[in-house]
Structure 1
Amino acid sequence: MHRNFAVMAALTVGMVSSAAFAAPRGSYKWTDDSLQNAVYVAPNPAAVSHVIYLNNCKPNGCQLKPGQNNATTNTSTIPQSNSVVQPFTGSDATWNAVVQCVKQTYADFDVQIVTERPTSGNYHMAIVAGTPGNVQQGNGVLGVSPFSCGYISNAISFTFANLISNDVDEICWTVSQETAHSWGLDHKYDNRDPMTYLETGPTRKSFQNAAGVCGEYNARQCSCSYQGTGTAKMNSYAVIMQTFGSSAPDTVPPSVTITFPTEGTQVNAGFPVKTTVTDDRTVEKVTFKLDGAEIKTLTDAPFNFQAPTNLGQGKHKVEVTAVDRGGNATTSTVNVTFGTVCTDDSECTTDGEVCVEGHCVAGPSSEGGLGTPCEANSDCVSGQCAEDSSNSYCVESCDTAASACPSGFACLGDGASGVCWPSNGDGGGCSTSGNHGASLLVLGLGAILITRKRRRA
């Protein structure tokens, strides 16, 4: 948000009179005007960078180009043309004090303040240098940032520190406000908080862990609808804590539950592994191992996997390990069996299971079982949802030569590969269809085209 810095009188903490200010301070720059009054969207923890790079543009200035926000390529929605922000003109002592102040302001949060440009990864770049004219902003503007009702990855914020090159607290306040704007924080009508326009209150501002009304010189509705307070109020501390988590040591490990398969399950080759993983802060990664061999690692939810299709006969150990940002790890294991364990539905001991290809699997009477309606692979215990021109059902893989589907189902497919599909007993021919996997042309059923939906990791 733009800020200028003329004040006329000291005001009381928290609630103030608008009569004390000589001029308005402008407005922040929306990345998309249609986002105004939108619901604040908390970022996916995996997409959040915890690094703020304070750039004083020394020794030769900061070269920027207009475009979508990307600190790693010096691209920003703020300048209207290729621009150079002039180096910070304050003393080294002032710069070091500003850095320490920003660190103190963000001390409660899991944020790393650096003054050397990261060589890899994502980061927020806070330019602390130059004047507003360097990026085509109006006179008197002390800071500006891109803004939306959510987290802007790799954003660049601007504090035009050469206007006040020896005022540590004013520069620190502005840096704190502009960085937070890029994470979806509005102005707060509280002169203790860095998100305020109000010059009164403490010179060293701190994020207040209390919901308060938004506004510049007068209270107003917030520009975004925040969780728990709507457009009536905003808790700047809570929003930042939700985004980055606490700076306190992380001693709590993640929670991992393997929801499928369960202990002792009889599985087919290529069986899905479904999990529920949570952490009090951020899950860094989740790894699936089978019999001690790593199969896949995911860094983003949902943390679901698929076993190899070349599974050997016998017992197998499924192992899922989650690691959080603090390095805490939790592992959950189940033991499963692959091999011929049934020749008929009656040999399956779990209610609702049917026999497919010598294995007991969830049947039509089980949620997500064979032949139950589905919209996506995740709806099915098997991890496979297939569709024809009018229906979608959960399916199981089968060998077309074995005729091993349960009663009421036919193995439809091309060559040896197929799926068990609801049938009235008629035979069928089949074909394949490119990227969608097996596609079956069922003869005797009005030439229905059945397509297995693409799996999603």
Structure 2
Amino acid sequence: MLQEIAHTWGLEHVESKADLLYPTTQSVPDPTFVDECFQIVRLDDSNEPVPENNIQCPNQHSQFCDGSNFQNSYQELLQIFGPGVPDLTAPTLEITAPAEGAEVDPKFDLKLTAADNLSPQLLTLSLKIDGPSAAETDPTAWPSPSDLTFPISGLAPGEYTVTATIHDEDNNEAIDTVHFTVKGEPVPGTTGDDSTTGQPGTTTGDDSTTGDDSTTGEAPTTSDGSGNPTTGVTSATGGVTDSATTGDQSGGDDGCACRSDLAPTSGAPALLLLLGLARGRRRARA
């Protein structure tokens, strides 16, 4: 694609395989526009590069090379567009729900909004939840700007901190943190007491807690109608769509959906979490 676009700016094929203007893409895994003069070529009937006699833009090429049948791809593009400007501005990120210090039900929505000063731009998002049911997600990419909603259920009661981190394509970072409390009685074995084994819902030296669902720390088990048990994990639809909906894995019908599995990477139990898929709404631009 870059080669074809470069042709519209007057650049022609050259003999170096390291240059993006080599007639074919082979041998070099990541060619670039090279700051060096190379012979302008064409492909013959055997698909081999041979010197090109019919030069399209001789005056342009001769500004940077000795002779109009040579081309410096890098210098010609630099003349047209000027030097690159680094992106030093961090994106913006805000966790809009739950509010700081809020008390939430065991089932709630984690909402955030993210944007960058440049567009188009992809923002890489990761989430980390610290608390009785700790977990974190792998980084996933979302377009800028995005309003994202992550339905969550199955967190054990207690105090939590959620940290959202995003990076733009130049690795500029933005972080937002919110503290909240999940309502309910704390589950034994999740308070960090020294008498616990470190596993949610189990204690040492007391067999009376091993057969009671209220103390095991596992997600409530229900039936899906077919007799198969299901846990309290909630999934959401993926995509940046025109409307935030659940249960539709297509991500909307606007042809611009993104979906990504955000599976926990920690050793948290399956009730955690979270974030199968987010449902998102692209923010309207002014």
Query: Is the radius of gyration larger for structure 1 or structure 2?
Result: 1
Does TM-score exceed 0.5, indicating one fold? no
TM-score (norm 1): 0.28
TM-score (norm 2): 0.41
